[in-house]
C-alpha cells in the first residue's frame, strides 16, 4: 500500500477516534431459543459420544469421540465425529480417518481447528488391533501422530482432513496451547495407552505445529510420572508457559527451553486422571491483565497409589487453590468447592462468573475391567448440582448454587461443556466404557444426550450494541459502540456497569477447555440525556500473549446481562507475529446533564471502567497519533 495513504488513514482514524475502513460485524440480536433460567434442558442427540467438543461457528459445535461402535455410520465404519447445529439441534456425522482417542485440540490464529494425537487402531471392546496389514473392523488407522484440520462452516460443506506432515512423535493425551503467533505447541503424552503414564511410554517432550523441528525435552514430565498426561498448560501474559503436572509446577520459556520451578501443588493432584476443574480467571483492566489460574478438586494420591488402589471409592477433594505465576511462585487457597469433585468443567460466563458442572464425588477419570469398577467406570456418584464461582464476592461466599437446579444426567469420564454465543452452556458426553455400551444393566452407559443450561440472565432483554468490528487488534485506536435506551434500560448511568469482554470458549475434553480465556477490554463512555450512550472500547492490550490470535466471541455486558456473543477475529486471521501498536488513550467518561439520576450541570464522571487512569486529554491523543504516524513512516 502507498505509505502516504496508509499514514493518512492512521492519522484520520485517530482524529475521529474510530478505525477508518474497519468492517463491522452484524449487530447481535436476541436469543432465538427460549429456556428456563437456572435449569438444564435436554435438547438433542450428538450421534457420537462427546469426548471432545468445540464451537466452530456461532451455530456449530463439533463433536469428536474415540473410535467405538457407535450405531451411526459413515462411509465404511462407525462414526466418531459429528457436527451439531445449536439452532436446529440436528447433527450430521463426519468422517475422521484416524483414531482420535484422547487427542488434544485448539484453534490456530488463522481460524483452522487442530485435533492432535490419538491412539493406535482398535477393535471391538476397545482392544488394540495389532495386524499391521489392515485397519481392523472399525477401519481406524493409527492416530498417534495425526494432525487433523477443520475449517468450520455453516453450510455443512466442511470436512476433516489430515495435515500433510504428521507429528514427529506419537502422542496419546497431549496438551495443545496456542502461542503469540497463532501457531500451536503440543506437549507431552504417552506412546500407547493405560490409566496413567509410565517410564516405558512417556513422551516428555514438546513440538510445534507447523513444525519447528525435532521435539524438545521437557524435564518436568520425567519428574512427574505417572500422573503427567494432558499437562495443564497456559500461555501467560509474560510469554512463559505455566505447566502443571502431578505435584509439580514450572514456568517454561519455550524460546530458550528453560524451566523455572514454582511451588508444588497443594492438597491434591489436579491433572488427569484426578482431573480438577481448572481455569485462567478473567484478565481485566482492574487486574492489569494479570493471569491467575485456579484449580479446584481432584484427587489426593501419591505416585505409587494409582495402581493397586480402589480409586472409585476415594472421595474427590474440595480444595481450591490459585496461582498468579507472573507475580508469585506460590499458591494461595480460595474458597473450597461445596462438594468434592473430580472432572469438574469450569466455564467462563460473560457476566464474569465461572460456571462449574459435571464430574463425580468419588473416584477419578479413566476406566478398566477391575472388580471394584462400576461397570468399567473409575468414577462414581456423579455430582448433578452445578455451582457458580463469583471472583468478585467476598472470601467465604464465592461459591453459590442459589437458583440453580441439578441436571438429571450424570456426566462422568469423557464428558464436555462449553459456552454458547447466547450465553447458555452446552453440555454433552460421558462414556466410562472401552466401547459403545448401552442397556438397562449398564449404569454409566454411552451418553449421547445434549443439554443446555440457562444462566440467570438468559431471559433478560439482551443489549444490541452497534459498531462491533469484525477484527480486534493489539493496541492502536479505540472503537465506539452505541447503546440504545433499551440496551441501557432507559438509564445511561448503566454505562458505568457495562463491560466489553472477549471469550474464547476453547476445546473441551477431559474437564479442560484448552485455550479457554476471558479478557475484558478497557472502555470508557459518553452518556446522553436521552438515555442512550456510546462506549469507547480499546483494542486488546499490546501483547498477543494476553489473548492469542484466532476467532473468539465478543460480548457487551450491561449490568450483568450479556449481549448475544458476536464472532470476532483476534489479530489479522493469519499465522505469524501480529501487528502490535501503542494503545491510544480513551476519552474520559462523561455523562450529559439531565440524565435521569443526575440533575444540573454537566459532569465528568470518574467512571472509566478500569483501574488504570490514562492521561486522557486530546493532547495526549495527538501525541500518540504523531508517534504512530512516525512509526508507520519509519516501518515503510
Binding positions for Cu ion, rule: CB under 5 A = 102
C-alpha span between 47 and 450 (Å, rounded): 10
- Tell me which of Cu ion, ligand NAG, none is bound by residue 102, counting a contact when its beta carbon lies within the kind-specific cut-off of 5 to 8 angstroms: Cu ion
C-alpha span between 178 and 186 (Å, rounded): 9
Min dist CB 329 to ligand NAG, Å, is 17
C-alpha span between 301 and 511 (Å, rounded): 18
- Tell me which of ligand NAG, Cu ion, none is bound by residue 490, counting a contact when its beta carbon lies within the kind-specific cut-off of 5 to 8 angstroms: none
Distance of CA 147 to the CA centre of its chain: 20
Q: Which residue is nearest to ligand NAG (CB)?
A: 125
Min dist CB 279 to Cu ion, Å, is 20
- Tell me which of ligand NAG, Cu ion, none is bound by residue 125, counting a contact when its beta carbon lies within the kind-specific cut-off of 5 to 8 angstroms: ligand NAG
SS3 508: strand
Q: Which residues pair with 583 in a beta bridge?
A: 476
Q: Which residue is nearest to Cu ion (CB)?
A: 102
Min dist CB 136 to ligand NAG, Å, is 13
Min dist CB 510 to Cu ion, Å, is 6
Q: Is the dihedral of CA 206, 67, 63, 386 positive or negative?
A: negative
Min dist CB 491 to ligand NAG, Å, is 9
Residue closer to ligand NAG, measured from CB, 51 or 496 = 496
Residue closer to Cu ion, measured from CB, 377 or 583 = 377
Q: Which residues pair with 46 in a beta bridge?
A: none
Min dist CB 294 to ligand NAG, Å, is 21
- Tell me which of Cu ion, ligand NAG, none is bound by residue 407, counting a contact when its beta carbon lies within the kind-specific cut-off of 5 to 8 angstroms: none
Min dist CB 475 to Cu ion, Å, is 40
- Tell me which of Cu ion, ligand NAG, none is bound by residue 95, counting a contact when its beta carbon lies within the kind-specific cut-off of 5 to 8 angstroms: ligand NAG
Residue closer to ligand NAG, measured from CB, 194 or 336 = 194
Residue closer to ligand NAG, measured from CB, 345 or 609 = 609
Please choose, from the candidates 345, 267, 274, the residue with its C-alpha nearest in 3D space to the C-alpha of residue 314.
274
Residue closer to Cu ion, measured from CB, 102 or 488 = 102
- Tell me which of Cu ion, ligand NAG, none is bound by residue 127, counting a contact when its beta carbon lies within the kind-specific cut-off of 5 to 8 angstroms: ligand NAG
Asked if 58 and 81 count as a contact pair (C-beta separation under 8 A), the reply is no
Query: CA-CA distances (angstroms) from residue 77 to 71, 145, 165, 362, 514?
Result: 10, 21, 25, 36, 29
Residue closer to ligand NAG, measured from CB, 127 or 620 = 127
Min dist CB 365 to ligand NAG, Å, is 15
Asked if 56 and 426 count as a contact pair (C-beta separation under 8 A), the reply is no
Residues that bind ligand NAG (CB under 6 A): 75, 95, 108, 110-112, 125-127, 149, 151, 157, 159, 163, 210, 288, 368-369, 434-435, 493, 496-497, 528, 530, 532, 575, 597-598, 605, 607, 612
Residue closer to ligand NAG, measured from CB, 24 or 327 = 327
- Tell me which of Cu ion, ligand NAG, none is bound by residue 617, counting a contact when its beta carbon lies within the kind-specific cut-off of 5 to 8 angstroms: none
Q: What angle do CA 426, 432, 434 make, to 5 degrees?
A: 125
Q: What burial letters (b/e) apply to 237-252, b meaning 16+ CB within 10 Å?
A: bbebbbbbbbbbbbbb
C-alpha span between 38 and 349 (Å, rounded): 13
Read out DSSP for 311-349?
Answer: GGGSBPP--EEEE-TTT-S--EEEPPPSS--BS-EEEE-
Residue closer to ligand NAG, measured from CB, 446 or 496 = 496
Amino acid at each position: 500500500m502507498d505509505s502516504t495513504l496508509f499514514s493518512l488513514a492512521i492519522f484520520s482514524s485517530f482524529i475521529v477516534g474510530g478505525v477508518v475502513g474497519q468492517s463491522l460485524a452484524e449487530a447481535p440480536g436476541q436469543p432465538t431459543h427460549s429456556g428456563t433460567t437456572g435449569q438444564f434442558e435436554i435438547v438433542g442427540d450428538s450421534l457420537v459420544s462427546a469426548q471432545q467438543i468445540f464451537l466452530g461457528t456461532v451455530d456449530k459445535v463439533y463433536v469428536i469421540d474415540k473410535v467405538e461402535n457407535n450405531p451411526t455410520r459413515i462411509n465404511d465404519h462407525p462414526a466418531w465425529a459429528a457436527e451439531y447445529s445449536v439452532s436446529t439441534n440436528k447433527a450430521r456425522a463426519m468422517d475422521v480417518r484416524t483414531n482420535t482417542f484422547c487427542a488434544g485440540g485448539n484453534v490456530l490464529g488463522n481460524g483452522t481447528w487442530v485435533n492432535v494425537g490419538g491412539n493406535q487402531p482398535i477393535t471391538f471392546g476397545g482392544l488394540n488391533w495389532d495386524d499391521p496389514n489392515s485397519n481392523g473392523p472399525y477401519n481406524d488407522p493409527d492416530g498417534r501422530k495425526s494432525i487433523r484440520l477443520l475449517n468450520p462452516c455453516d453450510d455443512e460443506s466442511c470436512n476433516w482432513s489430515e495435515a500433510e506432515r504428521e507429528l514427529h512423535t506419537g502422542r496419546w493425551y497431549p496438551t495443545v496451547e496456542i502461542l503469540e503467533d497463532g501457531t500451536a505447541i503440543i506437549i507431552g503424552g504417552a506412546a500407547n495407552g493405560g490409566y496413567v503414564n509410565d517410564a516405558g511410554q512417556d513422551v516428555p517432550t514438546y513440538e510445534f505445529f507447523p513444525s519447528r523441528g525435532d521435539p524438545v525435552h521437557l524435564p518436568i514430565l520425567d519428574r512427574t510420572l505417572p500422573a503427567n498426561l494432558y499437562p495443564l498448560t497456559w500461555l501467560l501474559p509474560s510469554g512463559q508457559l505455566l505447566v502443571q503436572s502431578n505435584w509439580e509446577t514450572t514456568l517454561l520459556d519455550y524460546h530458550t527451553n528453560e524451566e523455572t520451578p514454582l511451588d508444588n501443588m497443594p492438597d491434591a493432584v489436579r491433572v488427569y486422571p484426578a482431573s480438577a476443574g481448572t481455569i485462567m480467571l478473567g484478565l481485566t483492566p482492574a487486574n492489569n491483565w494479570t493471569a491467575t489460574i485456579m484449580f479446584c478438586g481432584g484427587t489426593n494420591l501419591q505416585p505409587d497409589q494409582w495402581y493397586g488402589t480402589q480409586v472409585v471409592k476415594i472421595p474427590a477433594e474440595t480444595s481450591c487453590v490459585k496461582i498468579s505465576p507472573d507475580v508469585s511462585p506460590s499458591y494461595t487457597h480460595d474458597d473450597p468447592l461445596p462438594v468434592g469433585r473430580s472432572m469438574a468443567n469450569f466455564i467462563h460466563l460473560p457476566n464474569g462468573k465461572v460456571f462449574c458442572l459435571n464430574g463425580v464425588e468419588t473416584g477419578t477419570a479413566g476406566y478398566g475391567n477391575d472388580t471394584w469398577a462400576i461397570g468399567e467406570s473409575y468414577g462414581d456418584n456423579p455430582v448433578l448440582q452445578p455451582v457458580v464461582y463469583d471472583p468478585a464476592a467476598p472470601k467465604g461466599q464465592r461459591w453459590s448454587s442459589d437458583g440453580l437446579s441439578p441436571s438429571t444426567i450424570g456426566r462422568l469420564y469423557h464428558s464436555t461443556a462449553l459456552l454458547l454465543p447466547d450465553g447458555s452452556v452446552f453440555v454433552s458426553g460421558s462414556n466410562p466404557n472401552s466401547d459403545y455400551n448401552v442397556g438397562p444393566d449398564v449404569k454409566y452407559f454411552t451418553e449421547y444426550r445434549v443439554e443446555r443450561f440457562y444462566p440467570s440472565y438468559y431471559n433478560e432483554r439482551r443489549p444490541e450494541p452497534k459498531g462491533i468490528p469484525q477484527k480486534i487488534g493489539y493496541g492502536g485506536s479505540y472503537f465506539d459502540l452505541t447503546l440504545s435506551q433499551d440496551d441501557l434500560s432507559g438509564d445511561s448511568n448503566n454505562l458505568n456497569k457495562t463491560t466489553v469482554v472477549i471469550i474464547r470458549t476453547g476445546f473441551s475434553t477431559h474437564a479442560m477447555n484448552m485455550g479457554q480465556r476471558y479478557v475484558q477490554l478497557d472502555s470508557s463512555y459518553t452518556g446522553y440525556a436521552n438515555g442512550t450512550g456510546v462506549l469507547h472500547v480499546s483494542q486488546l492490550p499490546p501483547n498477543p500473549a494476553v489473548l492469542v490470535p484466532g476467532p473468539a466471541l465478543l460480548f457487551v455486558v450491561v449490568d450483568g446481562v450479556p449481549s448475544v456473543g458476536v464472532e470476532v477475529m483476534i489479530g489479522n486471521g493469519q499465522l505469524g507475529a501480529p501487528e502490535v501498536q501503542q494503545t491510544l488513550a480513551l476519552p474520559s467518561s462523561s455523562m450529559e446533564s439531565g440524565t435521569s439520576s443526575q440533575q444540573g450541570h454537566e459532569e465528568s464522571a470518574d467512571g472509566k471502567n478500569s483501574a488504570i487512569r490514562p492521561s486522557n486529554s486530546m493532547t495526549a491523543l495527538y501525541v500518540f497519533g504523531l508517534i504512530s504516524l512516525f512509526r508507520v513512516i519509519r516501518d515503510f
